[in-house]
Chain A
Amino acid sequence: MKYYISTLLLPISIFFISCGDNTTTPLIKDINTLFINDANITLHSTDLAYNTTATVVYTDNSTADATEAVLWTSSNSDVLSAYSGALTPLSNGGNVTITASYEQFSDSKPVQIYALTDYNASFPDINATGTYVFQAYGNFENGDTNFPIVNNIIWSADNDAVIEVTDGVASITLVAGDTNVTATVFGETNTSSPIGPQSKIYTIN
């Protein structure tokens, strides 16, 4: 019996010697603010996705990248998509507000999309079968000229031509016969529009 009581009393003694203190100052940092790192974002309407980021600031003034953790929204998802901080223009021009949010924390920033005013598809001179590169360049409302169109452009060709498009640049393999190659931006079908489809017919014997 004495053995068991002694066994119990030993840890009790150690316990009462060691206990008594309470930590009353929180040691785990908390969230202070959340913000989008870019102040004013401008994009051409035919740009590829622009990647913005969000940062969380803690109570100890340390920071961390919160881009993947926050919810990204666009005030007009027909004009701009904002998925995981990747801002992709979807229409020809406009002003939207993007928001990064997480529960009660959020930050919003304006995004201006410069509209394409007209463009020029470069149709190379071709007189033999083979693979050729096609690229279009645009002029924008902010005055930027001859700017490469890398998004929101569709290249098409008939006569069994093979098309591969990477970032708006088309590699088209032409075969013998008449081939109509067309560039279309923003789905514009009105040929009289400055941003209407542009095409060229190649005849290869």
Chain B
Amino acid sequence: MKKILYLLLVTLSLYADTGIYIGTSVGMSNENFDELDAQSSSNIALLTIGYGDIQSYAIELSFEYTINDSNIFSTNGNDGDKQGFNIALIKSFPIRNYAYPYIRAGFGSGTMKIQRTTQSKLSYGSYNLGLGLYVPIYKHINLDFAYLYKDTSYERINLIASQKNYTSKINTFSFGIEYRF
């Protein structure tokens, strides 16, 4: 599924008007687990680099750092911060020249340190959907308001006799700034 999505992203990006942009964002995320009565609210920071046109399609790669204050997996300490990468296809819908609402779809993966008897890190993958708004404030510079929904699946937890898989839903809101070359 991820390979198909990746091919789709690359193919569609060929139709985008060329242009590289970089950006940074901060935000908050709220994670709710499907199999557990567990919740995690975290601050996040993102660094993004993209290629495309603010008025149509873009493909974007982002590095995401999540400050994790919850402790759900670790039994000999605390869950560590999360570090992940996301790739997304963005389609924006210009409203004249003062705002560019967009939708995004993609996937991501990442890892976090945990402290369990048989595992010291935990990887995860996610399918991502989002929407947002670019607001130009100066030549080449835009504000970015974004909402991102992540359907996340964690690496299996090893219990020797069995392996248990956990999933969660993550809602993230972020605010950032970007520069388009």
Contact = CB atoms under 8 A, between A and B. Distances in A.
Interface in A1-39: 1, 4-5, 7-8, 11-12, 15-16, 18-31, 34
A100 to B, nearest CB: 10
Nearest to B93: A4
Contacts of A19: 28-30, 41, 171
A23 B39 contact: yes
18 contacts: A8-B132, A8-B145, A12-B173, A16-B173, A19-B41, A22-B40, A23-B36, A23-B72, A27-B38, A28-B73, A28-B157, A29-B159, A31-B159, A31-B160, A34-B160, A58-B159, A103-B117, A104-B118
Contacts of A70: 160
A4 B135 CA distance: 12
A29 B116 CA distance: 9
A69 interface: yes
A99 to B, nearest CB: 15
Contacts, number: 103
A28 B72 contact: yes
Interface of B: 28-30, 36-41, 69-76, 95, 98-99, 101, 116-118, 131-133, 145, 147, 157, 159-162, 164, 166, 171, 173
Contacts of A31: 117-118, 159-160
Interface of A: 1, 4-5, 7-8, 11-12, 15-16, 18-31, 34, 56, 58-59, 64-66, 69-70, 102-105
B131 A7 contact: yes
Contact of A8 (B38, B71, B76, B133): B133
Given A15-B147, A16-B28, 13 more contacts: A1-B98, A4-B95, A21-B41, A23-B70, A24-B69, A24-B71, A25-B71, A26-B73, A28-B36, A28-B164, A29-B159, A56-B160, A64-B159
Query: Most A CB atoms within 10 A — which of B36, B75, B132?
Result: B75
Contacts of B37: 23, 27
A29 B83 CA distance: 24
Nearest to B73: A28
Contact of A15 (B28, B118, B131): B28
Contacts of B161: 56, 64-66, 69
B28 A24 contact: no
A24 B160 contact: no
A27 B35 CA distance: 10
The 4 closest A-B pairs by CB, nearest first: A64-B161, A19-B30, A30-B75, A23-B38
Nearest to A59: B75
